[in-house]
Structure 1
Amino acid sequence: MRVMVFVKASAEGDEDFVRTPGTIKMMEEMGRFNEALRRAGVLVMADGLKPSLCGKRVHFDGAGRNISDGPFAEPTEVVAGFWIWNVKDMDEAVAWVKRCPNPMPGPSHIEIRPFYEADDLG
């Protein structure tokens, strides 16, 4: 089963990356975690995203389109990074996330969402 694992930003985590001893340590820990995912055959893809200040949102209303520039109001609703994993089930995905270093400089959230597979769509 494929899942997308979203790292949600925190108020501090939706800012541009700054090299500090803390962020360097977190990136080293995340590198070791990613290597463990790779060795286990779980990791399909992973990447970090620039802060929402660099982003745009396209709002749809029928045929109309409206564009808003970042930053976006609720940092905890912004995706800061992601993985795509291939796991046997949701329990395995949860077990991997529990091993993950905290991706933000304080409280943070990671969301796991399964992809639709061909069998799901009939």
Structure 2
Amino acid sequence: MRFMIIVKASTNSEAGVMPREDMLAAMADYHQELARAGVLLDANGLHPSAKGWRIRYEGGRRRVIDGPFAETKELIAGYTLIQVKSREEALEWARRFPNPHDEDCEIEIRQLFELEDFTPGEAIERFRDMGVAAAKQ
């Protein structure tokens, strides 16, 4: 089972303020524990939304919307992707996640779909043939 630990953005992360050294050290320690346990798949921080864009789909058309985006609490500043045996194990790892900001905040944990979660069919086989991560589970 794969889970994504989603770090919500803050005013500072959206302003491009880099984390303090002690926060980076705590994150490095945590991710090192994940790696030693063999459950870490990926982890990264994201640039502020001012450097990003969105594609909006309306009436069969696509429109590009450049950042920054106003609702900071709805934005993502980074993520950690883990693979564990159960929801309970994911919860235990998530409880140990260091506070990613210098203020009150929250992280969100979401399970990823696996190809086996979908009804078998030609499209799912195409994804499996491409070697997407879900197919390798």
The TM-score normalised by the length of structure 2 is 0.81
Moved more, 33-42 or 84-93: 84-93
What's the C-alpha RMSD, in Å, of the aligned pairs? Answer: 1.3
Residue 66 in structure 1 maps to residue 77 in structure 2: no
Moved over 3 A (4+): none
Report the counterpart of residue 8 of structure 1 in structure 2. 8
1:113 deviates by: 1.1
Structural mapping, 1:72-111, within 5 Å:
72-111=69-108
Unaligned runs of 5+ in 1: none
**Greater relative contact order: 1 or 2 (C-alpha under 8 angstroms, separation 6 or more)?**
1
Amino acid at match of 1:28: A
The TM-score normalised by the length of structure 1 is 0.90
Partner Cα distance (1:104, 1:57) in 2: 25
Tell whether the 8 Å contact from 1:44 to 1:85 is kept in structure 2 after alignment.
Answer: yes
Aligned residues: 119
Structural mapping, 1:8-27, within 5 Å:
8-18=8-18, 23-27=20-24
The equivalent position to 1:56 in structure 2, one of 49, 53, 58, is 53
1:29 deviates by: 0.6
Residue 35 in structure 1 maps to residue 35 in structure 2: no
% identical aligned pairs: 40
Partner Cα distance (1:13, 1:64) in 2: 32
